[in-house]
Structure 1
Amino acid sequence: MPAEDYDIEDQGDLQYVVRLSDGEEDVETWFRLTPSVLEQLGVESGDEADLVAETVDFMKKHQDVPDFPDMVEIEDVLATYPDYEAAVTRRR
């Protein structure tokens, strides 16, 4: 579930827009998922927004909100952070 400092909106086609705030700056970031990454991470149909929320929480531990990119491809997060897959699959 989304935290108090961000909002997640389903845009269809496995794309989500997330509006975040660090208390000083507001940021809008798009998250794009693919069927293959959902399968790899064990995400069931209907739980995609939960994965986005888990990814936002994970990324906030690694970078400041104003530094979030405009577009986040979950495959890129998997490739960049070796601990990402374990972090988001542990909760399932």
Structure 2
Amino acid sequence: MEAQFEVEMLFEHEYLVRARAAGEVIETRIMVEPGVLEQLGLEGADERQVVKETAVFLADHQPLIDFPPLLDLADVIASYDDFPEQLRRHLPADH
């Protein structure tokens, strides 16, 4: 069963992601530093959707319980070679 993620904007470029795992709520803060979307070729993309798709991607690669409390999108890019391509594939084409 695919995890359901709630994404809440905390500050500009910073989001809180919530999901349920093993009967508890998992929370992770994901930062989208300026320039990262440009680096990915996703200028103008909805940051909230980028964060949600990032959480979905990570859930496919590790248990939710192992999500770190704070994560920078640039770290995901550095850790997973296929992440940029997968992210582009799952975002609407009209970004």
User: Structure 1 length as normaliser, TM-score?
Assistant: 0.86
1:84 equivalent in structure 2:
83
User: Structure 2 length as normaliser, TM-score?
Assistant: 0.84
1:30 equivalent in structure 2:
29
* Number of residue pairs matched by the alignment: 90
Q: Root-mean-square deviation (CA), in Å? A: 1.8
2:17 equivalent in structure 1:
18
Percent sequence identity over matched residues?
36
CA deviations on 1:17-41 (whole Å, 9 max, x unpaired) are 0111125221110000012111122
Following the alignment from structure 1 to structure 2, what is the Cα–Cα distance between the partners of residues 43 and 12?
20
Question: Which structure 2 residue ranges, 5 or more long, are not aligned?
Answer: none
Amino acid at match of 1:70: P
Amino acid at match of 1:79: A
Following the alignment from structure 2 to structure 1, what is the Cα–Cα distance between the partners of residues 86 and 34?
19
